[in-house]
Amino acid sequence: MINGTDGMSIVLRALDFAAHRHRDHRRKGGAASPYINHLIDVADILWNVGGVADITLIAAAVLHDTVEDTETTEAELVDLFGKDVASVVMEVTDDKSLPNDVRKRLQVEHASSLTDRAALIKIADKTSNIRDIVESPPVGWSVDRRRAYVMWGQEVVDRIRGTNEELERMFDDVCEKAYLILDREEPEHK
């Protein structure tokens, strides 16, 4: 029980909250899918692939981009979902005031110090992102840029291995498929 309500209620409230906060957001991919689809995908990967039944973690997975990408505050998450959910969200939240290359470097550097809950979200998030980048490439992203993203995702996940074998296996499978697709798309240089 979190805040006196059952687990399903917390997850449904988190989904409703995230859907509202991200209502005008779309994924960068050519399909421009609603952003909430990514959040549902991350929670689904955790639950159905990773066997994660920790309701705090599933709620945090659904909310993991709200502080980073919307006007949501940590205090608001604490008030609505409790300190545990908020602390996991904050642990995976990047400081958007920093340049993108610095944020990416810091994710690699800090990955090994993540709690298990945050590490699980990070693996599922990277899996979802890499799958999306390959299946529906962001407009204007070259093969090299997409390959660099996959390599960076691997750097992050390599620092948190040993957290969940099934999630790591799925991540590796998605990366392998990504490289195969990117290699086919790459123009001949010879």
State the catalytic residues: 68-69
Do 122 and 92 touch, CB atoms closer than 8 A? yes
**149: nearest Cα among 28, 52, 53, 58:** 28
